[in-house]
Every structure is written in C-alpha cells, then in structure tokens.
Structure 1
Amino acid sequence: MSIATLNFESQYLNSNHEISIILPNKPRGINSKDFYENQKKYKVLWLLHGTYGDHTDWVRRTNIELYACEKDLIVVMPSGLNSNYSNWENSMLGFNMYDYLTEELMPLVYNWFPASDKREDNFIAGLSMGGRGTMKFAVNFPEKFAAAAVCSAAPVNIQNLTEEDLRKDDFFSRRMYGMVQNAGGLDKFKNSSENVWDILDSHAGSGRLPRLLFACGTDDKMIYDNLLVFKQHAEQIGLKAEFWKLDGYGHEWRFWDLAIQYALEFFGLENTGASPY
C-alpha cells in the first residue's frame, strides 16, 4: 500500500493539521500510466482514534494497511486530539473537530484523492473516543455513510444526568463536565448532536440510519456493561444493529485489530486478491 501524510492549515481547527491516508497499491504487471490515469474511484473508510491518540495510531498498532490492501480501500485517519470529535469554539482560537470532518476533510479527500463520495462507498469506524465519534457522525449524518462500526464505545442515556453527577471526582465525570460546559449547559447538551441515545430513538425503524455494528470485549470494564444496557434498549425500540463480542479481551489494541477485521466484513468489503508485497 501507499501511505500519504498530509499536513495542511485547517479552517475549522485554526492550525496546521496532519492526517494519514492509506491508498491502494498499483498492482505489479500493470503499467503505471494506465493505473494512475484510470479515473477509478475507491471506497473510503473514515477511521477514528481514541483518547490520547493521533492519526498514526491505527497504522502503528494494527495491520490496517494490510487489510485495506486486501479490500482495495482508501483509509483516512485524522487527528482528533482529546476532542471527543466535538466543536470546541472557545478552545484556543477554536478547535471544531465535528464540523471539520464533514465540512473540510471529506471535501478535501473526495477532490484531491481518487475517493468515491457515494454513500454506498463510505464507511466510518473508531475505537473508544473514536467509537463515540463514529456514533455521532453516523446518526447525525446518516446520508453520508453506508455503515458504521463502533468499537469499545456505547450510547449512554443522559436524560437523567444531573449537575451533581458532573461533580464526581472520576475520569468520566470530569470529561462529561467539560462536554456539558462546552455545549453551554446541561439542557443544551441534552438537546445537542451529542445525545446519540435520543437521536437513535428518533431514527429507530426509519430506515435512514447506516448499518450499525457495536463491537466490544467482554473484559472491557469501562464499556461492556454499558453496551449490554444499550443492547437491551435497542431491542426495545426496534433498532437494527449487530452486537459483536469477544471473550477475554478488554479495552486494548489486540481486540481492536480483530474488531476492525470483523468490521470490514460487516461492511461487505470483499478481498480483491491484491497483494501488499
């Protein structure tokens, strides 16, 4: 495969921004000019990293390059910092990661690279924080993606969330507090694009949503119990989704390497016989 690293000044992030893009290889035995001028548009996977990560995570810690080569797939990996893939208008000069993906990065990739902009050719996936971002983009922009794979993340019902809950001294409460403050308060947060639980309720049975996969290790103490709660809720509201689990795996890259392989199968991407060598 070919891996491109692109550094450019982003309008929505107000800074230079770096992304990694995996591009299909020219097969051996095909003339270079014929291959690069064939005007073919490839399917695209938008692949999101987790907390503390960046655009290099998936390439360094999984075999995504090999899997993309086998599927003849473009993979786009941005850096989201610890933004939860949300707009942070009051951070520095503004770091609007939510708008950036759909309003800047997607047009860039579709027009600068041989990437298809058709819904049926676009997929989104992510792990942990990136799984939360995946859920958010999938339910708020269902017209952009054919399918979504949420790895080690789950929608949470925030309707009963209180100010007292936000003052607890733990990682999730502190993070949620920052998200609520960023949204302009608890009521605005509950009525925003962040409330994936309620948005899924409103879409259930509509046929508008992308195909949804939720993948988690059964030893993931941060996520698995929440995912079981959501799975029961999904069954109650008639939400079509696949839930995939692996025993003995926690919140870890060994699981995510297996999960992304399953996700590519779930997306319906077939092996093309292309070799990475």
Structure 2
Amino acid sequence: MSVMTWNFESRMLRGNTEITVILPDMPRTRTPAEHFAADRRHPVLWLLHGTFGDHTDWLRKTNIEVYAEERGLAVVMPSALNSDYSNWSGFSLGYHAYDYLTDELMPMIYGSLPVSAARENNFIAGLSMGGRGAMKFAVNHPDRFAAAAVLSAAPVDLSAIDEETLAGSDDFMMRRLRGQVENAGGLAAYRDSPDNTWALVERLAASGDLPRLFFAVGGDDLLADRLFPEFRAHAEGSGLDAEFWTSPGHDHEWRFWDAAIQRALDFFRLPMQESNRF
C-alpha cells in the first residue's frame, strides 16, 4: 500500500491539519505505465478516530493497512481533536469539524486522488467518538455513503435528558454532553441538531434511504449493559436496516476495534482483490 501523511491548511478548521491516506498498491501483473494511466477509481473508507486520538491511531494500532490492501480499498483518516465531529463556532476562530469532512475533505480527496465519489463506493466507520461521528454523517448525509460502521458507540435518546439531568453529574460523559448542548445553543437546539441521531433514525428508517448500518460493541464495554441494547431495541422498532454484533471478552479497546473493523469490511461487501504475493 501507499501511505501518505498530508498536511494542509483547512478552511473549515481555520488552520493547518493532517490526514493519513492509504491507497492500494499497483498489482505486479501491470506495468507502471498501464497502472497509472488507467482510469481507476478505488472505493474509499472514511475512518474516524476516537477521543484523545488523531489521524495516526488506526494505522498505528490496528492492521487496517493489511485489510485495505486485501480489498483494494482506499482509506482516509482525518484528525478532529475532541470535537465529536461537530461545528464549534465559539472555539478560537472556529473549528467546524462537521462541515470539514463533507464540504472540504471529501471534495479535496475526490479531486486529488484516484477514488470514487459514487455513493455505492463510499463507506464510513469510526470508534467511540468516531463511531458517533460515523453515525452522524451517515444519517445526515445518506446520499454519500453506502454503509457505515459504528464501533463502541450508540445513539442516545435526547428526549429523556432534561436540564436537571445535565446538571446532576460531573462525570466525563456528562461534562462532554453539557459542552455539546452549550455549543448548540441550548437543549432544544441540540435536540434539533445533526447530533440527534436517535430521532433521525426514527424519522428516516422507514424511508429506505439510509445507508446500511453495522453496530458493534465489546461484551465487557459499559455500553453493552444499557446504551447499546436500548438503541438496538429502538432501531429494530423503527424498522432500521442494521446489523448488531457483540464480542464477548472485549472492552473499549484496540483489540476489539481491530476485530470489529474486519467485520465491518465484510458487512460493507467489499470483495477480496488480486494478491501481490510472490
């Protein structure tokens, strides 16, 4: 595979940022002239990191390069700080991580690299915070992705959260939720925002326009006790076209995410490609 680190100034993020990109190798059955002159357009996976991570996480901590090569898949891995892949207009000069992916990064990649812009060849996945991001992009931009994989994350019923609940705890997840609500302009605005994927599933599932969705969680992850089964019941009651997988013995950890991304690639129905083995 070709692995690139690309540093550039982002209009949406108001500063320099970096991405890692994996591109499939040239088959040894082709000459360089044949390969690079061909009008080839690889399928592409937009792969999102979790909290405290960056564009290098998936490459350093899983075998995603091997799995991508087996399927002739390009992989684009952006950095998004701890933004929850949301727009933060009040941060510094503005940090619009939600608009960045769809309105800047995707056009840049399609215009610069040999990848396909067709919906049927585009997939999105992420872990934890990146899983929430993958879900958000998939249900708010269903015309862009054929399928999505949400790993170690699950939408939350925001109608069950009130101001008292928001103020009642100072744990990590509640502090994060309070920041999101404040960023959106209040609880009502947050419920009406792209982050309310629970409500969007209920509204859009019956239309048949959503991407195919894959949800995965480790059996020892705290999410497996309540949030994951709660959303699964909601999704099945809404008629959502989705697959759910729980892996016993795994927690919120990289060993699980390495296994889960392999399951996701199978779910995406990406066939194995010609091997470059000797």
Q: Tell me, in whole angstroms, the C-alpha distance in 1 between the residues paired with 2:223 and 2:217.
A: 10
- The answer on 1:41 being equivalent to 2:37 is no
The within-5 A match list for 1:225-240 is 225-240=226-241
SS in 2 for 1:205: helix
1:180 matched residue in structure 2: 181
On the 8 A contact 1:149/1:212 being kept in 2, the answer is: yes
Structure 2: any 5+ residue segments left out of the alignment? none
Structure 1: how far apart are the matches of 2:192 and 2:224? 23
Q: What is the number of residues matched between the two proteins?
A: 277
In structure 1, the residue matched to 2:266 is 265
- Residue in 1 that maps onto 2:147: 147
Does the 8 A contact of 2:217 with 2:246 survive in 1?
A: yes
Return the offset for 1:37. Answer: 1.2
Unaligned runs of 5+ in 1: none
| 1:212 counterpart residue number | 213
On the 8 A contact 2:218/2:249 being kept in 1, the answer is yes
What is the percentage of aligned positions where both structures have the same residue?
Answer: 55
* 1:220–1:250 CA contact under 8 A, matched in 2: yes
Per-residue deviation, residues 142-179 of structure 1 (Å, max 9, x unmatched): 00000000000001101121122222110111000000
Q: CA deviation at 1:273?
A: 2.8
Matches within 5 A, 1:44-59: 44-59=44-59
Matched residues in 1 for 2:276 and 2:4: separation? 18
Q: Is the 8 A contact 1:66 1:276 kept in 2?
A: no
CA contact (8 A) 1:70 1:275 kept: no
Distance 1:181 1:45 in 2: 32
- Return closer, same or farther for 1:217/1:276 CA change in 2, 3 Å cut-off: farther
Counterpart in 2 of 1:94? Answer: 94
Partner of 2:8: 8
Distance 1:60 1:232 in 2: 35
Does structure 1 conserve the Cα–Cα contact (< 8 Å) formed by 2:28 and 2:276? no
- How far apart, CA to CA, are the structure 1 residues paired with 2:151 and 2:274? 27
- Alignment partners' CA distance in 1, 2:135 and 2:198: 10
Contact (CA 8 Å) 1:44, 1:73: kept in 2 or not?
A: yes
**2: distance between equivalents of 1:37 and 1:181?**
51
Contact 2:27/2:274 (8 A) holds in 1: no
**C-alpha distance in 1 between matches for 2:274 and 2:62:** 20
Matched, 1:76 2:73: no
Give, in whole Å, the separation in 2 of the partners of 1:115 and 1:134.
Answer: 19
The aligned residue for residue 109 of structure 1 is 109
| Structure 1 residues 253 and 5, CA gap change in structure 2 (3 angstroms) | same
1:166 paired to 2:161: no
SS for the counterpart of 2:80 is coil
Per-residue CA distance 1:199-248 (angstroms, 9 max, x = gap): 11000111100000001111001455201011111122222210011111
The alpha carbon displacement at 1:32 in A equals 0.9
How far 1:81 moved relative to its partner? 0.5
User: CA 1:7/1:223 → structure 2, altered by over 3 Å: closer, same or farther?
Assistant: farther
Aligned to 2:121: 121
Measured after TM superposition, the shift of residue 29 of structure 1 is 3.9
1:39 deviates by 1.5
Equivalent in the alignment of 1:20: 20
Q: For residues 23 and 2 of structure 1, do their structure 2 counterparts lie closer, same or farther at Cα, with a shift above 3 Å needed?
A: same
Q: Distance in 2 between matches of 1:137 and 1:29?
A: 38
Give the partner amino acid of 2:91: S
CA–CA distance in structure 2, aligned partners of residues 209 and 132 of structure 1 = 16
Change (3 A) 1:163 1:228: same
The amino acid that maps onto 1:70 is E
Whole-angstrom distance in 1 between the partners of 2:223 and 2:233: 18
Indicate how the Cα distance of structure 1 residues 216 and 275 shifts in structure 2: closer, same or farther if over 3 A, else same: farther
